[in-house]
Each structure stands twice: as C-alpha cells, then as structure tokens.
Amino acid sequence: MLQPSGRSAIPQSIYTVYHANASSSKPLPSVLIDFIAIALCEVIPFRMFRRRSMQQLNPQNQHLQQTQSHARPRRLPELLYFIHKVTYQAGINCRTALVALILLDRAKASLPKNAVSSYDTSHRLLLGALLTATKVLQGTVWAPATPPLTNQRLCDICNGLFSLNDINQVERAFLKLIQYRCWVDDKDVNDYVIRHRSDFAL
C-alpha cells in the first residue's frame, strides 16, 4: 500500500511530521487536528434542509443521507473535540491522518457542486476517512502501533453517538463516495504534505 521512500524525497521539517512516532500514547499535533477540522468543513458546506427536498434536488447525495438516522437529531460533541478524542483513543498517527486527509480530498472531488450536508456529516466523514485509512495501512510499516481499528472498536470509541450499524453504513457510504479509490502511495502523501506545508506551519 503505502511504501516508504528515501528521506531526500521531502524536506527535513516535513519528514519529521510524516515520520512522527506512531505510539498511541501521543495525540496528533494540534496543527494537524485543526487542519483536519478545516478539511472536514470544506468537503461539503453545512446547510439546514429538509430531507425530501434535498434528495429531490440532489439525488447523487442520497448515499450520504442514507447513513443518517431518521431519529431526532442527537447532540454531537464539538468537531475539534471529537477529532481529538477519536484520533487519540484510536491511536491514529500522523501517517494515518495524512492518508485520511487525502481520502477526504477524493470525497470532496466526487461530490456535486451544489451538495450540502446535515448536522453530523463532518463527524461521519471523519469516521469513514479514518476507518478506511487504517484499513489501507493495516499490515504495512505505516500501521499504528495499536490494535487494529475495527468497526466495533470505533463504535466503542464513539461511546453511543453512533451504533455499529451506523459505523458500517458510514464505511460503505464513504467507500462509494470515493469510488473505492483507496490506494494511497508514498508519492501521494509526500505531494500532499508539500502542497500544504504552510498550513502545517512547516
């Protein structure tokens, strides 16, 4: 999947972030947490809407909406806190976070221009991107030094916010959204970090 390359491929400062310690005892750098939040909000703008009107205007968005519960909207934690909590408890390292960000870019590119989101879309996109990224990296030298992030484990980390069925639906919807283009190689990650080096304060 994601194959290591020589140190000369990227500047030293970027190398430090890219090859950060994979230990689950260390949270992601705050600048990366902030960037993930911004990236999530930019994937699809939030707007209050009626479900039926949304599907009539944008039938291509139905696979996103079908993952959202028909029950009364639940109270969700603030996005930055949710990102920090999930990434820390799941043992997400910098490499996995970068792969997730690349997958989010692919999700954004696949959406129609007039797509809008619901109140929990950013939270669900985060879960879908992280779950896919960890599975892509599983068995490689880039995998986090923690137990594999399974759907059940992610459900437990969410602590009742999303059921196992929700997580399974989120995963399927995210894969469909990125058109099952899960492959991320070393060049993809290097290019992404260099392209956003100012955002990462490198």
Return the pLDDT at 47.
Answer: 62
pLDDT band per the 50, 70, 90 thresholds, residue 116: confident
pLDDT band per the 50, 70, 90 thresholds, residue 141: confident
Question: What does the pLDDT average to over 154-175?
Answer: 97
Return the pLDDT at 147.
Answer: 85
The larger pLDDT score, comparing residue 187 to residue 147, is at 187
Return the pLDDT at 25.
Answer: 55
CATH numeric code, 26-43+75-196: 1.10.472.10
Has residue 201 got a pLDDT over 50?
Answer: yes
In sequence order, what are the residues at sequence separation of 6 or more whose Cβ sits closer than 8 angstroms to the Cβ of residue 163? Answer: 155
Has residue 74 got a pLDDT over 50?
Answer: yes
Question: What does the pLDDT average to over 36-53?
Answer: 72
pLDDT band per the 50, 70, 90 thresholds, residue 195: very high
Element containing residue 110 per DSSP (H, E): helix 94-110
Instruction: Enter the tokens of residue 200.
Output: 């990462």
Return the pLDDT at 118.
Answer: 83
Separation of alpha carbons 1 and 22, rounded Å: 17
Question: What does the pLDDT average to over 75-103?
Answer: 96
pTM: 0.78
pLDDT band per the 50, 70, 90 thresholds, residue 19: low
pLDDT band per the 50, 70, 90 thresholds, residue 192: very high
- CB burial of residue 12 (10 Å; 0-12, 13-18, 19+): exposed
The overall average pLDDT reported for the chain is 81
Has residue 40 got a pLDDT over 90?
Answer: yes
Residue 165 has a CB neighbour count (10 Å cut-off) of 12
Has residue 145 got a pLDDT over 50?
Answer: yes
